Amino acid sequence: MPVDVLVIGGGVSGLCAAVECASRGRSVILAEQSQHLGGRAYSFLHMETGDIVDNGQHLMLGCYHSTLRFLRTVGTIDQLSIQPSLDISFRSTVGRYRLRAPLLPSPLHVFGALLRLGSLSWRDRLSMLRIVPALLTANPRTDADLLTMTVDQWLTKHGQSLEAKNNVWNILSIGTMNERPERASAALFVNVLQTVFLGSRRDASIALPRTGLSRLFADGAASYLQEHGGSVAFRARAGNIVVTNGTVESVMLGQTRIEPRAVVSAVPYHAIGAMFAHGSRSALPLPERMDRFEAVPIVSIHLWYDRHFMEDEFTALLGSPIDWVFNKSTTAGRTSGRLMHLSLVISAAREESTQAKEAIVAMADRELRRCFPGASEAALRHSLVIKEKRATFSPSGDIAACRVQHATALRNFFIAGDWTDTGLPATIEGAAQSGYACAELADGYLGTASQGQE
């Protein structure tokens, strides 16, 4: 019996597409070229410590509605810890402060959070409030100004001082877009800020996994698919897609030829073109400027110390090459006993991704000792550095023209992935939204195709 939907790629976008198609009663095959699901969000066992380690810390938000919907469906939502409302701690050598929303309705909670930022002068705090009316009136899809400006230019236009940029905006920009503010698109940043700050109070809350990423995203999804008549094919590289009369006719999964009624591609931008057979490639027009996608690395550093010197669950580091420190022991509910496991993140790590791992560990250890008074007595027991060279695409101003729609010139072929035209930077939520959108399109196509046969 022919399968209804073939989903190619087992990252978050593919998992969402496959689960949603299965929940609509469609038969699904999810094909993944590697031996694990999750794509760029996965975890594995660190043999030396017995801890589960993520390929990179993933920070999510209350406004990740599609992601939360997916986790609810596959039954792992309880493995995500969501703050009641926005609360971010910042730390430097001179002290700590918090961006914390007071108990006010949205969007007044944002005004309140900015006004309570004790580390900044009153003048800077009041100038930060100018961002709120700018957010209320901006349209990131159509404002010509926004579409051509960088984040840094936009912040300057709205009177943000160097202190306000360095202490708040740049951290949020790099943290959410994995790109320096001098390069990142103002339109994408404004869309992120509108989504986070102008929605419900909970939209701005930080959400952190309590478990490894594979357990959070992949395991529940694989079980869900099996329970709903779907299947997962591992080490199944899709290729040789043959197109006939504007429709995908067949796809090779390794050595096996299948004829799905609809196909959702959930592979990255650099993999989609190569999946088509020689004579069929031109049937799918992709933007000419696809080569403008630039990969941006993230370097993750896992460190295990013999004592617990960090109280917060996570903190941003100011004036340091390290952007964020996450206390994995606290998140897992282990605040004493065993080793303290910290996960450090360097975003937009073009330079660091070329450095020797030993040098990165030495730098990270130095930075922790500099910023955490209690670290001076601690001994570093284990370390692990993971360089993800293609973590995200650069959200630069001209990238909008390269992002593709989910529906394509091929009637039964749909494109998901964080790089499609979601209006968001490369994120879990962009991936999830694209997966749901493609599932809806594929389901709609199958419904129409069945009616045509009646």
How far, in Å, CA of 355 to CA of 71, rounded?
36
CB-facing half-sphere around the CA of 262: CA atoms within 13 A = 28
Tell me which amino acid residue 144 is: A
Does position 428 bind ligand FAD by CB under 6 A?
A: yes
**In the window 62-91, what residues touch ligand FAD (CB under 6 A)?**
none
- Cβ at position 437, least distance to ligand FAD in Å: 12
Where helices occur in 169-214 by DSSP H, the ranges are: 170-177, 186-197, 213
Does position 41 bind ligand FAD by CB under 6 A?
A: yes
Q: Which is nearer to ligand FAD, 127 or 176 (CB)?
A: 176
262-265 and 413-415 as β-strands: parallel, antiparallel, unpaired?
Answer: parallel
Strands (E), 306-393: 314-317, 324-327, 340-346, 380-393
Does position 10 bind ligand FAD by CB under 6 A?
A: yes
- Cβ at position 81, least distance to ligand FAD in Å: 14
Does position 28 bind ligand FAD by CB under 6 A?
A: no
Q: Which of 107, 209, 395, 417 binds ligand FAD (CB under 6 A)?
A: 417
> Backbone phi, then psi, for 194, in 5-degree steps?
-60, -45
Does position 58 bind ligand FAD by CB under 6 A?
A: yes
Does position 410 bind ligand FAD by CB under 6 A?
A: no
- Nearest-Å Rg of the Cα atoms of the chain is 23
**In the window 268-307, what residues touch ligand FAD (CB under 6 A)?**
268, 271, 275, 298, 300
β-strand partners of 380 = 305
Does position 395 bind ligand FAD by CB under 6 A?
A: no
- Ramachandran bin of 307, using left for φ above 0, alpha for ψ from -120 to 50, beta for the remaining angles: beta
Does position 32 bind ligand FAD by CB under 6 A?
A: yes
Residue 116 DSSP code: T
Residue 245: CB partners within 8 Å, gap ≥ 6?
Answer: none
Q: Which stretch binds ligand FAD (CB under 6 A): 55-63, 152-160, 313-321, 397-405?
A: 55-63
Q: Which of 29, 51, 53, 55 binds ligand FAD (CB under 6 A)?
A: 55
Q: Which of 51, 367, 418, 443 binds ligand FAD (CB under 6 A)?
A: 418
β-strand partners of 252 = 239, 257
> Backbone phi, then psi, for 201, in 5-degree steps?
-55, -40
Does position 181 bind ligand FAD by CB under 6 A?
A: no
Strands (E), 36-152: 43-46, 51-54, 60-61, 80-82, 87-92, 95-100
- Cβ at position 424, least distance to ligand FAD in Å: 9
Q: Which of 427, 441, 442, 443 binds ligand FAD (CB under 6 A)?
A: 427
Q: Which is nearer to ligand FAD, 181 or 395 (CB)?
A: 395
Crossing angle of helices 220-227 and 65-74, in 10° steps, is 60
- Cβ at position 384, least distance to ligand FAD in Å: 13
Enumerate binding residues for ligand FAD (CB under 6 A): 8-14, 31-34, 39-41, 55-56, 58-60, 237-239, 266-268, 271, 275, 298, 300, 388, 391-392, 417-418, 426-429, 431
